[in-house]
Amino acid sequence: MIPSLIPSLLGGGTLSALSTNIKLDDILSLAIRMALIGLVGAALRQWLGKFRTQLYNSFEWIMSFLAQSTEVQGQMRSFRLLTADARQSKRDDANRLKRKTTDNSSLARKDATFVENVIGQLSPVNEQAIYINHKGNYLWITRKSKGYAGLETTDQEQHLEIQGLAIQPEGIKQFIIDAHAQYFKKTNEEIMIFNLSPYNGVWYAPIYRPCRSWSSVILPESQKAPLLEDVENFLSDEEKHWYSDRGIPHRRGYLLHGKPGSGKTTLATAIASRLGLDIYIINPAARGMDDGKLNKAFRNCPPQNMILIEDIDCVMPPRPRRGRDSGGADADDDDEDDFAGTQDAADPGKFGLARSTVTLSGLLNAIDGVSSQEDCNLFATTNHPDRLDSALSRPGRFDVQLSFDDATYDQAKSLYKHFFPLSSTKSQIATSPAESVDSHEKDTIILKSNSSYDMESEDELERLSDEFANGIFNLPSAWAANTEEVDEKNHLDFETGTEFGVSMAGLQGYLLTYKKEPRLAARNAFEWSKGIRKQMQEKERKKRARRAERIKMSNDSIAKKDGNVEARNEV
Ligand SMILES: Nc1ncnc2c1ncn2[C@@H]1O[C@H](COP(=O)(O)OP(=O)(O)OP(=O)(O)O)[C@@H](O)[C@H]1O
């Protein structure tokens, strides 16, 4: 009946009726089917489950999942390609660092990276639902934002709305579980590092880095082993219950302090690698930071991980410049420009971010306020422990403190041996059964198999490492026989008796220039350290001259004041 009415509705002529008769039937049946689907859909939609990405950065990891699922990418008809999204969804696979490509040109590598990271990682546009079939469950995902038209909104103002069918109650849940698992998936050889957005205090997508092997951190075992044990013990269930039974917040702080480039961050990374912890890095002095964002960052950091505050002294207000202001002779003005407080307030800085306004009380509150995260290790590093407020070292905040210094003679030797291991060791490790090799030591193996020099014997390695360390510390070769005496001479120039120090980072930089020439590295060490010595002496000379100048100016000004007083008295 209905089909027969249509031709007349369309104008009724015989011609049109004849030519459209079959097509109209098709169209009609299609329309009826669509109407039915619409009706069923509308009915089902009444029962849809809904999820909004507002918790635990779920916006980030679901976007990342959408960007990396080939199934979803194939279904995506409308998309946007923004660098911000690409960064967000990028999975910076640490294994890529180790991957070998047949075409080794940097252009080919760049192309491959671009294809992997950007093309094929498309993000949905706002307000347009994408329909996906995730493991047989139908889902509607809509990206929404509270931003203003035409303006790119920040992550915080955006969310995803996920809808699923009521008859598939597990659909949304399964999708969220899978998206979460993929985002936080890492291999045993990777470590996840999270950085904080200074715009809104939300954790960015993680970057993946190869684990730092325990043996590559060259510090006395008596220094690093107890620290590892302490962290491991703290994270154990037993310890957690102990704290909770006594109503004590389950937190522990570790302060690593000392000279730059001495291995503070490296040790923290090696501990995280060893215990499989993710690292959440906070830089309170970064532009855009304030107490609120700092607090939020701490709260949103998942438990059983490591929070790492780099250069914690940067939140302290700048000290008065004693030397200049009061004429004191002990001012050290070499390093006064790294405080948050010295950032130029008027300068809008990169991306219009204002200078950090994080306060000491804000930091203390974030660390151990009532609402602060528990069950986390807090690591902080500083080159200036003397600048820290005593409130920070109050018991319960940074209970474990570890001091780091410039390289010692023994460390220099060990670093040399780490760089140029014996070729025989290489074959020994390479032929051992895979399972017997500690996974954390694997990078050492890579280092060995990449080296193309030949070290003849253990004796030669010992002799060259001595030559290297003697060269660095300007010691005659005889000193190597008496290590106790050498230890006493660490950080002193043998000839002049003046202080001399070189960081492990500095030694590493030097050895990197001789990757395949162990003998040359040992032979030239003295010349290299002589250059450093000269630079240090020059720096010291300038510092003394500046001090003398300040003292003179101060004395002149006192004399002038006294002269004025005397003149007035005479008048
Ligand atoms: N003890 C060490 N053992 C092995 N490598 C080290 C050691 N100390 C420093 N290095 C090397 O030097 C570089 C810098 O080290 P790291 O960042 O850990 O120093 P840091 O003490 O945290 O410095 P800063 O105070 O300037 O942040 C790294 O590449 C690391 O490999």
Which residue's alpha carbon is at the smallest distance from atom 25 of ligand 1?
260
Asked if the model's pLDDT at residue 222 lies above 90, the reply is no
Residue 157 CA to residue 165 CA, distance in Å, equals: 27
Whether the complex's predicted ipTM is more than 0.95 is answered with yes
Residue 201 CA to residue 207 CA, distance in Å, equals: 17
- Mutational test site, ligand 1, from 219, 223, 262, 279, max ligand atoms within 8 Å of CB: 262
Residue 167 CA to residue 483 CA, distance in Å, equals: 76
pTM of the predicted model over 0.95:
no
Does the Cβ of 504 fall within 6 Å of ligand 1?
Answer: yes
DSSP bridge pairs for 280: 194, 307
| Span 173-190, average pLDDT | 82
pLDDT computed for residue 271 by the predictor: 96
Residue 262 Cα to ligand 1 midpoint, Å, equals 5
Residue 505 Cα to ligand 1 midpoint, Å, equals 5
Handedness of CA 272, 278, 281, 282 (dihedral sign): negative
Asked if the model's pLDDT at residue 332 lies above 60, the reply is no
Does the Cβ of 266 fall within 6 Å of ligand 1?
Answer: yes
Residue 244 Cα to ligand 1 midpoint, Å, equals 36
The two three-digit tokens of residue 494, written as one number: 């043998």
pLDDT tens by residue, 393-439:
787 789 899 999 999 888 999 999 999 988 644 444 443 443 344 44
DSSP bridge pairs for 309: 282, 380
Residue type, 323: G
Which residue's alpha carbon is at the smallest distance from atom 7 of ligand 1?
263
186 Cβ contact list (under 8 Å, min separation 6): 192, 208
| Span 48-58, average pLDDT | 59
Does the Cβ of 505 fall within 6 Å of ligand 1?
Answer: yes
Please give the share of the chain, as a percent, with pLDDT higher than 70: 63
**Fold of the CATH domain 207-404:** Rossmann fold (3.40.50)
Ligand 1, closest atom to CA 268? 18
The two three-digit tokens of residue 527, written as one number: 């010349």
Which residue's alpha carbon is at the smallest distance from atom 26 of ligand 1?
260
Does the Cβ of 235 fall within 6 Å of ligand 1?
Answer: no
Ligand 1, closest atom to CA 505? 12
Residue 339 Cα to ligand 1 midpoint, Å, equals 21
Mean pLDDT for all residues in the chain? 74
Query: Domain segments of the chain: what residues?
Result: 2-45, 49-101+111-185, 207-404, 409-534
Low-confidence winner among 285-294, 444-453, 535-544 (lowest mean pLDDT):
444-453
